[in-house]
């Protein structure tokens, strides 16, 4: 691949990158996938441990509810831990963790396995069984990983709620998942302050009624309310003899659910995307190995939060499946200074850094000198995820952080895809701003409204035409919604919700969402959630939220508000509404702009015309408004 001449701004891999990469030449994979797609995936699956091998690699008898590795029995937590504990890796570091306050901890595979077994025993003592949902609401500390792996070990289904979400978001997710057990931290450190997670959880638990047991992990140590009979400290439970028993792993079938993760969609409430033990395991294992190029001695730092899919797949599961060492940092990037990240990369010798364009743009504004002070020579691979990376940020990342030695691996994927779907391998020629090609064997197209492929460099809808192992299995509690949302518009194909172009070299350039999802600093939010949070405020009659371009965040939220009769707009009210959104949804959803209006542009059927609002917010011509009601 390195020899082919491509058009445009192209960066070719260095001989050093090629010499070190796990995959020297992607055409090996392309050929194998072309000849025998199922065999191609079966080979990867065979690198992992199975209690029983599968009968069938892909079962499409009930598509779009595809199944993978049916008849097989495995357990992802077993593959992350027990498999390594049997080898020299038992003494290897599984995890290095640094708190925002400078505290640090390390855990060997042996220790992590032990802690996971103990935690799993505690869950069992609360009668958590295979298939039961457990909600986890914590900051970035080792216990979040322990809790996730403990659920997986006994076949329980974890539902991690991002610690940056707040009361209403947490309430909805607990209720929809019907969790009986909540695992929460007392608090988390962020920018030198304490986020009072337990207080937020207490408020949510007053609204949501299913939770019987709350396990509280002590992190910040401030006083928290403990409800007798419901709330228990983890460190006290962990001393009980029951924690100390052997913990037999649940031999889950490939299609047993591993987790649900709520994500925003086109309309209404967030939906619970469901992933399973078998296919998700194989998909995250392979992409971590070949795209992020993780090798045995590597320390990988994925800066995402475990509460999002990136954290699930590339902090926790992918790296542990590969037996690598995870690095996790609790706090804010610029705390106390904008060299915090670079200092930690130097201190811990991080080899792979996987982060989001918004973070890179954030660092860029502080200039090169903060990074230049540090020895970043341990870095080998730089990854990007979450939103399109603008070429300027790509080049800065490549030059200032990667010192022009490290390939930038721009990975496109989604909560629903579970694993990377478009990405360069490190040995491929790179074009800043393009994620390059789909995973070998996966056919993706850019099509028009009718489903016809558009011409090179023309914009259209991005669709996926081949099943892949970590694909979304269903929406928990609402399978029909999965069919309607993803598989109906283009029969036989998965609709991503993104627009894209494909250039003359076949490289894909993802442009952004075409639905009501807004990516703010790489975080996925839905206009519907923000709007319903606005309307829950006593002053608001109606609300419309849109995304507008923002230099650092990628998109920022712009909200149009109609106040209830006789109420007057004021700066105080704007501040109050912003606080209200932070309290209900989370600080990430705070709108950048709030504008009070008397009317919202709607179609005759009453749908808000966001396109018109967007044009107005950006001072542009709204174009064709013939469907506007008035
Ligand atoms: C966007 C995050 C361009 C895209 C893993 C997608 C990207 C949505 C990229 C999914 C990328 C993610 N280039 N856009 N490399 N990665 N996106 O579910 O719009 O939080 O549909 O998963 O993020 O967001 P989600």
Encode pLDDT of 461-487 as tens digits.
Answer: 999 999 999 999 999 999 999 999 999
Under the phi-then-psi rule, with left for phi > 0, alpha for psi from -120 to 50, and beta for the rest, what region is 436?
Answer: left
The tokens for 523 are: 């975080």
For the record, the structure tokens of 278 come out as: 């078998």
What is the structure's pLDDT at 2? 45
Write down the mean pLDDT value for the chain.
96
8 A C-beta contact, residue 5 and residue 272: no
Distance 333 CA to ligand 1 centre (A): 21
CB 330 within 8 Å of CB 301: no
Q: Is 524 in the pocket of ligand 1 (CB under 6 A)?
A: yes
Cis omega before residue 580 (within 30°)?
Answer: no
The single-letter DSSP state of residue 245 is S
3-state secondary structure of 121: helix
Q: For every residue of 574-599, which 3-state class applies, written as one string?
A: HHHHHHHHHHHCCHHHCCCEEEECCC
CA distances from 64 to 59, 91, 259, 449, 494 (A): 10, 43, 19, 21, 9
Give how far the C-alpha of residue 420 lies from the chain's centroid of Cα atoms, to the nearest Å. Answer: 11
CB atoms under 10 Å from CB of 403, counted, come to 13
415 pocket-lining for ligand 1 (C-beta < 6 Å): yes
pLDDT tens digits along 296-346: 999 999 999 999 999 999 999 999 999 999 999 999 999 999 999 999 999
- For residue 123, report the distance from its CA to the centre of ligand 1, in Å: 33
**Pairing state of beta strands 93-98 and 133-137?**
unpaired
Work out whether strand 408-411 and strand 104-108 pair parallel, antiparallel, or are unpaired.
Answer: unpaired
Q: Do β-strands 93-98 and 325-329 pair in parallel, antiparallel, or remain unpaired?
A: parallel
Mean pLDDT over residues 611-615, rounded?
A: 92
Question: Residue 335: what pLDDT?
Answer: 94
Residue among 547, 554, 540, 558 at smallest CA distance from 516: 547
Tokens of 576: 């109050």
Of the listed ranges 103-107, 486-490, 509-513, 619-623, the least confidently predicted one is 619-623
Residue 505 above 50 pLDDT? Answer: yes
Q: For a substitution probing ligand 1, which of 389, 413, 416, 520 has the most ligand atoms within 8 Å of its CB?
A: 413
Average pLDDT of the residues in 416-437: 98
Residue 228 CB partners (closer than 8 Å, separation 6+): none
Q: CA 269, CA 265: separation in Å to the nearest integer?
A: 8
Q: What is the DSSP letter of 314?
A: I
Cβ pair 259, 159 in contact under 8 A:
yes
| Over residues 413-422, mean pLDDT | 98
How many residues does the structure list for the chain?
A: 630
Cβ(305) – ligand 1 distance below 6 Å: no
Question: What atom of ligand 1 comes closest to residue 512's alpha carbon?
Answer: 19
Q: Give me 123's structure tokens.
A: 């869950």
To test the ligand 1 pocket, which listed residue (315, 412, 486, 496) has its Cβ within 8 A of the most ligand atoms? 412
Residue of 510, 512, 517, 588 to mutate, ligand 1, most atoms within 8 A of C-beta: 510
The C-alpha angle 152, 157, 161, rounded to 5 degrees, equals 105
Closest C-alpha to 288, from 185, 418, 416? 418
Query: Is it true that the peptide bond before 594 is cis, omega within 30 degrees of 0?
Result: no
Which of 359, 269, 275 minimizes the C-alpha distance to 309?
A: 275
Using CA atoms, how far residue 286 sits from 43, 44, 81, 279, 425, in Å, is: 11, 7, 17, 11, 12
Q: What are phi and psi of 36, to 5 degrees?
A: -155, 85
Answer for the pair 525, 572: CB distance below 8 angstroms, yes or no: no
**In a 3-state reduction of DSSP, which class is residue 162?**
coil
> How far is the C-alpha of 59 from the C-alpha of 65, rounded, in Å?
9
Which long-range contacts link 196-205 to residues 24+ away (Cβ below 8 Å)? 196/222, 196/224, 197/137, 197/138, 197/139, 197/163, 198/224, 198/225, 199/224, 199/225, 200/137, 200/166, 200/167, 200/170, 201/137, 201/170, 202/227, 203/167, 204/167, 204/168, 204/170, 204/171, 204/174, 205/174
* Local structure of residue 399 (DSSP, 8 states): I
Task: Choose which residue among 358, 382, 414 to substitute to test ligand 1 binding: the one with the highest number of ligand atoms within 8 A of its C-beta.
Answer: 414
Percent of the chain with pLDDT over 70: 99
Give, using CA atoms, the residue closest to atom 23 of ligand 1.
386
- Per-residue pLDDT of 165-202, as tens digits, reads 999 999 999 999 999 999 999 999 999 999 999 999 99
348 lines ligand 1 (CB under 6 A): no
Question: Which residue has its alpha carbon closest to ligand 1 atom 1?
Answer: 387
The confidence band for 3, taking pLDDT boundaries of 50, 70 and 90, is: low
Count Cβ atoms within 10 A of the Cβ of residue 552 and give its class: 0-12 exposed, 13-18 middle, 19 or more buried: middle
Q: Pocket of ligand 1, candidates 361, 386, 423, 462: which has the most ligand atoms within 8 Å of its Cβ, to mutate?
A: 386
Nearest C-alpha to atom 8 of ligand 1 is from which residue? 414
Strands 554-563 and 593-596: parallel
| Residue 385 Cβ < 6 Å to ligand 1 | yes
Cα 512 to middle of ligand 1, angstroms: 8
Distance (angstroms) between ligand 1 centre and the Cα of 413 equals 5
Q: How many CB atoms lie within 10 A of CB 263?
A: 20
Instruction: Tell me, using a 6 A CB cutoff, whether residue 299 lines ligand 1.
Output: no
Average pLDDT over residues 137-141: 98
Q: Residue 135: which H helix or E strand, with range?
A: strand 133-137
In 3-state terms, what secondary structure has residue 427? coil
Closest Cα to atom 13 of ligand 1: 388
Q: How far is the CA of 519 from the centre of ligand 1 (A)?
A: 8
Which residue's C-alpha comes closest to atom 15 of ligand 1? 412
In this predicted structure, the answer to whether residue 140 has a pLDDT above a threshold of 90 is yes
Q: Is the CB of 310 under 6 A from ligand 1?
A: yes
- The reported pLDDT for the residue numbered 629 is 66
Rg of the chain over Cα atoms, rounded to whole angstroms, equals 24
Q: What is the pLDDT of residue 265?
A: 80
CB 186 within 8 Å of CB 221: yes
The per-residue pLDDT for range 528-575, each reduced to its tens digit, is: 999 999 999 999 999 999 999 999 999 999 999 999 999 999 999 999
Using a cut of 0.85, tell me whether the model's pTM lies above it.
Answer: yes
Q: Cα-Cα-Cα-Cα dihedral of 356, 358, 361, 365, to 10°? A: -130
Q: Are residues 176 and 269 in contact, defined by beta-carbon separation less than 8 angstroms?
A: yes
Residue 1 has pLDDT above 60, yes or no: no
Q: What is the percent of the chain with per-residue pLDDT over 90, rounded to a whole number?
A: 94
Tokens of 180: 């009986």
Average pLDDT over residues 94-117: 97
d(Cα 531, Cα 545) in Å, to the nearest integer?
Answer: 6
What is the position in ligand 1's atom list of the atom closest to the CA of 524? 20
Answer whether residue 4 shows pLDDT above 70.
no
């Amino acid at each position: 691949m390195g020899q082919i001449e491509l058009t445009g701004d192209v960066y070719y891999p260095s001989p050093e990158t090629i010499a070190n990469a796990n995959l020297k030449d992607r055409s090996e994979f392309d050929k194998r996938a072309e000849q025998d797609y199922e065999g191609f995936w079966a080979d990867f699956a065979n690198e992992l441990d199975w209690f029983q091998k599968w009968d069938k690699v892909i079962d499409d008898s009930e598509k779009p509810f595809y199944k993978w590795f049916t008849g097989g029995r495995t357990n992802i937590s077993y593959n992350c831990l027990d498999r390594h504990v049997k080898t020299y890796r038992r003494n290897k570091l599984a995890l290095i963790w640094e708190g925002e306050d400078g505290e640090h901890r390390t855990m060997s595979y042996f220790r992590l396995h032990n802690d996971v077994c103990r935690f799993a025993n505690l869950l069992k003592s609360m009668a958590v069984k295979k298939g039961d949902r457990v909600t986890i609401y914590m900051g970035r500390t080792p216990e979040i990983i322990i809790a996730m792996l403990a659920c997986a070990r006994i076949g329980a289904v974890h539902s991690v709620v991002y610690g940056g979400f707040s009361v209403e978001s947490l309430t909805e997710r607990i209720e929809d998942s019907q969790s009986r057990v909540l695992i929460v931290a007392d608090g988390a450190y962020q920018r030198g302050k304490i986020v009072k997670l337990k207080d937020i959880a207490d408020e949510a638990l007053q609204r949501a009624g299913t939770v019987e047991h709350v396990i509280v992990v002590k992190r910040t140590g401030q006083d928290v309310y403990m409800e007798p009979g419901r709330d228990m400290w983890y460190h006290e439970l962990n001393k009980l003899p029951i924690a100390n028993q052997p913990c037999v792993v649940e031999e889950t079938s490939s299609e047993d659910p591993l987790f649900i993760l709520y994500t925003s969609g086109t309309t209404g409430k967030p939906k619970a995307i469901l992933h399973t033990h078998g296919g998700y395991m194989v998909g995250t294992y392979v992409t971590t190995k070949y795209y992020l190029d993780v090798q045995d001695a590597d320390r990988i730092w994925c800066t995402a939060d475990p509460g999002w899919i990136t954290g699930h797949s590339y902090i926790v599961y992918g790296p542990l499946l590969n037996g690598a060492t995870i690095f996790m940092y609790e706090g804010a990037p610029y705390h106390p200074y904008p060299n915090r990240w670079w200092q930690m990369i130097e201190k811990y010798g991080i080899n792979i850094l996987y982060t989001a364009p918004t973070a890179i743009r954030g660092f860029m504004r502080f200039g090169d000198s903060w990074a230049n002070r540090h020895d970043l020579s341990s870095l080998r691979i730089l990854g990007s995820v979450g939103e399109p990376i603008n070429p300027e940020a790509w080049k800065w990342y490549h030059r200032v952080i990667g010192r022009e030695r490290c390939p930038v691996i721009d990975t496109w994927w989604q909560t629903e895809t579970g694993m990377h779907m478009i990405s360069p391998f490190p040995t491929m020629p790179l074009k800043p701003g393009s994620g390059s090609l789909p995973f070998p064997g996966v056919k993706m197209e850019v099509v028009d409204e009718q489903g016809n492929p558009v011409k090179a460099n023309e914009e259209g809808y991005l669709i996926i035409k081949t099943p892949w192992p970590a694909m979304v299995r269903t929406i928990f509690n609402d399978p029909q919604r999965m069919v309607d949302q993803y598989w109906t518009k283009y029969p036989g194909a998965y609709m991503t919700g993104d627009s894209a172009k494909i250039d003359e070299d076949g490289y894909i350039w993802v442009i952004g969402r075409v639905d009501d999802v807004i990516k703010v600093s790489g975080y996925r939010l839905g206009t519907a959630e923000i709007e319903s949070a606005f309307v829950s405020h006593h002053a608001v009659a109606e609300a419309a939220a849109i995304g507008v371009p923002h230099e650092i965040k990628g998109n920022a939220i712009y909200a149009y508000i109609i106040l209830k009769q006789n109420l007057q707009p004021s700066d105080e009210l704007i501040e109050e509404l912003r606080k209200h959104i932070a309290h209900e949804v989370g600080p990430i959803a705070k709108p950048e702009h709030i504008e009070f209006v008397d009317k919202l542009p709607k179609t005759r059927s009453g749908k808000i015309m966001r396109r018109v609002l967007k044009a107005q917010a950006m001072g542009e011509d709204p174009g064709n408004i013939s469907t506007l009601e008035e």
